[in-house]
């Protein structure tokens, strides 16, 4: 009997590892294809797509596509703009949305449930339906800067950050997480004379690592991959993000090798961000199936 149980466990373990390896291949395959293609000239790149050579560093391998990509477009500027806009938006969004969720869950005020329902309802509104009204609004907003008082936010960082600081999904994630926190902690803090902000900052947020990481990753991916809105509000290269930079490689004849090199470079910040938050992100996934 022990031998049969051991064989069953070995069989289950083998299938489990086989499925994990298959999943890894499915997810890593496109990245490997992208990197290998970025090292090959266009004729060889297109020819290799007919076989497994597309995933191997074979043939005429060089870094010429990376050099050409940086010469074709201001890649460093695009990456800086995307990292700056995305980073600031994520930080401000986590702060504002978590405070809003805190007020919805722990504070009592008139109209709380109605406003929360309206915020959640905005999740079903496609961005394309409000893009033009938003463009009209931001084109007439006032601003005071080093150059003085002016109207219009086009060609700036603020026009890419401010409209996306608060969103229904991030607030909803924090609300759902805060509802599972023990109320005794909040009541004990109130008895000891803590203010609402002290409770939020010193009691609730230190316990919210998983939801902070989850919301940060989702917000980061959404902002880093934005194309339509930056294309509408930025005409100057100095403010354009990485996704708008893709159009530089589709002019006249598509430069596939340079495009793959560009995609390889702009993927690096995403991988680094994920690796930084990986330890906090994995517990957030596991905790969704744990009740106690």
C-alpha distance across the termini of the chain, in Å: 35
Q: Based on the domain organization, do 49 and 76 belong to the same domain?
A: no
Q: Based on the domain organization, do 53 and 75 belong to the same domain?
A: no
pLDDT reported for residue 183: 87
Domain of residue 133, residue span:
71-287
Q: Based on the domain organization, do 158 and 247 belong to the same domain?
A: yes
Q: Based on the domain organization, do 130 and 48 belong to the same domain?
A: no
Q: Based on the domain organization, do 119 and 257 belong to the same domain?
A: yes
Q: Based on the domain organization, do 212 and 270 belong to the same domain?
A: yes
Q: Give how far Cα 225 sits from Cα of 128, 170, 196, 219, 230, Å.
A: 15, 17, 36, 10, 10
* pTM of the predicted model as reported, rounded to 2 decimal places: 0.86
Question: Which of 62, 93, 111 is where one domain is finished?
Answer: 62
pLDDT reported for residue 292: 37
- Give the other-Cβ count within 10 Å of 163's Cβ: 20
Q: Based on the domain organization, do 42 and 172 belong to the same domain?
A: no
Number of structural domains found in the chain? 2
Q: Based on the domain organization, do 266 and 178 belong to the same domain?
A: yes
Q: Based on the domain organization, do 13 and 89 belong to the same domain?
A: no
Backbone angles phi, psi at 149, to 5 degrees: -85, 135
Q: What is the 3-state secondary structure (H, E, C) of the chain?
A: CHHHHHHHHHHHHHHHHHHHHHHHHHHHHHHHHHHHHHCCCHHHHHHHCCCHHHHCCCCCCCCHHHHHHHHHCCHHHHHHHHHHHHHHHHHHHHHHHHHHHHHHHHCCCCCHHHHHHHHHHHHHCCHHHHHHHHHHHHCCCEEEECCEEEECCCCCCHHHHHHHCCCHHHHHHHHHHHHCCCHHHHHHHHHCCCCHHHHHHHHHHHHCHHHHHHHHHHHHHHHHCCCHHHHHHCCCHHHCCCCHHHHHHCCCCCCHHHHHHHHHHHHHHHHHHHHHHHHHHHHHHHHCCCCC
* Cβ atoms 231, 248 nearer than 8 A: no
CATH number of the domain residue 158 falls in: 1.10.3720.10
Residue 36 in domain = yes
Residue 145 in domain = yes
Question: Which of 42, 62, 82 is where one domain is finished?
Answer: 62
Q: Based on the domain organization, do 152 and 204 belong to the same domain?
A: yes
Residue 244 in domain = yes
Q: Based on the domain organization, do 53 and 89 belong to the same domain?
A: no
Return d(Cα 38, Cα 54) in angstroms, integer. Answer: 10
Q: Based on the domain organization, do 215 and 255 belong to the same domain?
A: yes
Residue 292 in domain = no
* Cβ atoms 224, 123 nearer than 8 A: no
Question: Which of 45, 62, 79 is where one domain is finished?
Answer: 62
* Cβ atoms 237, 77 nearer than 8 A: yes
Residue 264 in domain = yes
Residue 167 in domain = yes
Mean pLDDT per 10-residue segment, the chain (292 residues): 60 80 84 92 90 88 93 93 96 96 92 93 91 93 81 91 94 94 88 90 90 92 94 91 90 84 92 77 46 38
């Amino acid at each position: 009997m022990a031998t049969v149980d051991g064989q069953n466990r070995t069989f289950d373990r083998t299938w489990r590892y086989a499925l994990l390896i298959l999943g890894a291949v499915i997810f890593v395959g496109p990245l490997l294809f992208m990197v290998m293609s970025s090292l090959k000239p266009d004729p060889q790149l297109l020819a290799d797509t007919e076989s497994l050579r597309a995933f191997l560093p074979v043939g005429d391998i060089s870094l010429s596509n990376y050099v050409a990509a940086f010469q074709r477009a201001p890649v460093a500027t695009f990456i800086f703009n995307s990292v700056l806009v995305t980073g600031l938006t994520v930080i401000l969004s986590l702060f504002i949305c978590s405070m809003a969720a805190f007020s919805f869950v722990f504070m009592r005020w008139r109209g709380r449930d109605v406003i929360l329902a309206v915020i959640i309802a905005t999740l079903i509104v496609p961005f394309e339906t409000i893009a033009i009204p938003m463009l009209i609004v931001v084109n007439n907003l006032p601003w005071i800067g080093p150059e003085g008082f002016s109207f219009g936010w086009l060609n700036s960082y603020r026009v890419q950050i401010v409209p996306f600081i608060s969103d229904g999904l991030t607030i909803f994630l924090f609300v759902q997480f805060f509802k599972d926190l023990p109320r005794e902690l909040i009541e004990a803090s109130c008895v000891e004379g803590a203010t609402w902000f002290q409770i939020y900052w010193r009691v609730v947020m230190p316990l919210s690592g998983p939801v902070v990481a989850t919301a940060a990753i989702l917000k980061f991916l959404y902002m880093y991959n934005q194309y339509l809105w930056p294309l509408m509000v930025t005409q100057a290269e100095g403010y354009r993000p990485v996704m708008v930079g893709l159009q530089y490689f589709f002019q006249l004849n598509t430069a596939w090798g340079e495009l793959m090199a560009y995609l390889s470079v702009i993927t690096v910040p995403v991988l680094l961000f994920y690796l930084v938050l990986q330890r906090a992100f994995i517990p957030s996934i596991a905790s969704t199936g744990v009740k106690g």
